[in-house]
Amino acid sequence: MSEFLAGKVLVVDDEKDLARLIEGYLCKAGLEVVVRHTGPDAVAAAREVAPDVLVLDLGLPGLDGIEVCRQVRTFSDCHVLMLTARDDEVDKIVGLSVGADDYVTKPFSPRELVARVQAMLRRVRREATIPSAMPAPAEQTHVVGDLTVDESSRQVRLAGDPVVLTRTEFDLLAALAAHPQLVLSRGQLVEMVWDARWSGDEHLVDVHIGRIRKKLRDEAASPRFIHTVRGIGYRMGSGR
């Protein structure tokens, strides 16, 4: 049985036939879809329509997908799914380094792409904030050394200073902080942060962890917060 989730998706690809194909599949899934074909139009549309998910091709005229993602990240925390025609790990990592949440390499199954988008929309639903008048449970605030992760407000502070994270970065950090000293495998983190039905490269977790570490000034070789457990995954714990 097909899954229907309400949501707004901005699709940006200069291959117009492919963009129409993606649009058709997403519309059949019950989603509102806006299509653009150039980098500048993508940035403008992201401001105008405030999408829940941005499906963004890497190779675009005007501005490439990397620069579009960089600019969109200055005003939007929508989920970003990058499309690339080059099966090159460097391209993928560079795309993720500017704030993309996931990637799909062309050629891809339109059904797989719809499934990825739906997984992102389920995360949007889970991330809905509680009313401000309702006090947050104490256990929603996690303190690890001088790092504070507040799940209710989705805020992170390091020694009192705010740390700006993307949605995926925050969700990964919160998952680790909520289970201090517990080793979580990449598969467990994927299930907790992306979705149990998500299918993709689990090493995507490593890329996001790298971004979080950079923002926390947490060196992998001598970590204060996020410790690598070789061959398994990661654990959160204060101290080097």
pLDDT at 2 over 60: no
Cα 2–chain centre separation: 24
C-alpha distances in angstroms, 92 versus 73, 114, 146, 193? Answer: 17, 19, 32, 19
Reading the block at residue 197, the tokens are 């039905």
Could you tell me the pLDDT band of residue 126, with boundaries at 50, 70 and 90? low
Tens digit of pLDDT for each residue in 32-82? 999 999 999 999 999 999 999 999 999 999 999 999 999 999 999 899 999
pLDDT at 213 over 60: yes
CATH number of the domain that residue 169 is part of: 1.10.10.10
Structural domain boundaries enclosing 173: 138-236
Whole-number Å distance between alpha carbons of 1 and 105: 26
Contact call for residues 123 and 95 (beta carbons, < 8 A): no
Question: Are both 101 and 149 inside the same structural domain?
Answer: no
Model pTM score: 0.75
Cβ–Cβ < 8 Å for 95, 58? yes
Task: Answer whether residue 135 shows pLDDT above 50.
Answer: no
Give me the CATH number covering residue 80: 3.40.50.2300
Q: Which of 60-69, 77-86, 88-97, 149-158 has the lowest mean pLDDT?
A: 88-97
Helix (H, G, I), strand (E, B) or coil at 234: strand
What pLDDT does 183 receive?
A: 93
Q: Is 133 a domain residue? A: no
